[in-house]
Amino acid sequence: MIAESLVLRPPSLADAPALLAFERENRAWFERWVHPREPGYYALEAVEAAIARAEEDRRADTGYQYLALGADGRIVGRVNLRGVRRPHYRSAELGYRIGEREAGRGFAGAAVGLCLREAFGALGLWRLEATARPHNLASIRVLERNGFRAWGRSARCVEFAGDWFDLIHFERHAPAA
């Protein structure tokens, strides 16, 4: 089962070559849904720099990035918590991306579920937020299946590939103690 075999862990510099290969392999797939990375990102030095920044964010308690690894240890996706706000909010924004070969197979839902356990457990967060464009039904299903609920919609608030899109806003709170 996917959920039982999936592992989340922070990226390290040793992961840079595999992460670069993952990003290159899925570049066109990701760019269907999220803003493209700068072309310079697709070099080993740039990925190493991004991992170093992620490590700094973790130490500063401002963001947490994770690689989602399949049973064979291969990177199948990424999950992140960014914009961590403490002490009064104990919240963060959730983001995730799953490789094209793994899409539709439950990896996204499993990765988000593991991230929720980390966020509401060891990290002590209280609230997570996420957004999705209304036509990204797969992402909406991932969020809803993981207990997120829609709380609002922003009209024509994000530009993507020259067009303006709405965003649906979602939230999820830590389970009551």
What CATH number corresponds to the domain at position 75? Answer: 3.40.630.30
**Cβ(31)–Cβ(58) below 8 Å:** no
CA distance 54 to 62: 9
What is the chain's mean pLDDT, rounded? 95
Confidence band for 128, pLDDT divided at 50, 70 and 90? very high
Domain membership flag for residue 171: no
DSSP bridge partners of 176 = none
Confidence band for 2, pLDDT divided at 50, 70 and 90? low
Domain membership flag for residue 172: no
Coil, strand or helix at 87: coil
Residue 57 confidence (pLDDT): 98
| pLDDT: which is higher, 26 or 35 | 26
Distances (CA, A) of 155 to 39, 164, 166, 168, 169: 30, 9, 4, 9, 11
Domain membership flag for residue 168: no
Domain membership flag for residue 53: yes
Domain membership flag for residue 108: yes
Mean pLDDT value across residues 111-136: 97
Confidence band for 45, pLDDT divided at 50, 70 and 90? very high
pTM for this predicted structure: 0.93
Q: How many domains does the chain have?
A: 1
DSSP bridge partners of 160 = 163
Domain membership flag for residue 135: no
Task: Report the share of the chain in percent with pLDDT over 70.
Answer: 98
Task: Give residue 64's identity as a one-letter amino acid code.
Answer: Y
Statement: residue 177 has pLDDT above 90: no
Residue 36 confidence (pLDDT): 87
Task: Report the share of the chain in percent with pLDDT over 90.
Answer: 89
pLDDT tens per residue across span 163-175: 999 999 999 999 9
Domain membership flag for residue 56: yes
Residue 102 CA from chain centroid, whole number: 15
pLDDT tens per residue across span 62-112: 999 999 999 999 999 999 999 999 999 999 999 999 999 999 999 999 999
Q: Could you tell me the residue range of the domain that residue 108 belongs to?
A: 2-129
Residue 1 confidence (pLDDT): 55
Domain membership flag for residue 19: yes
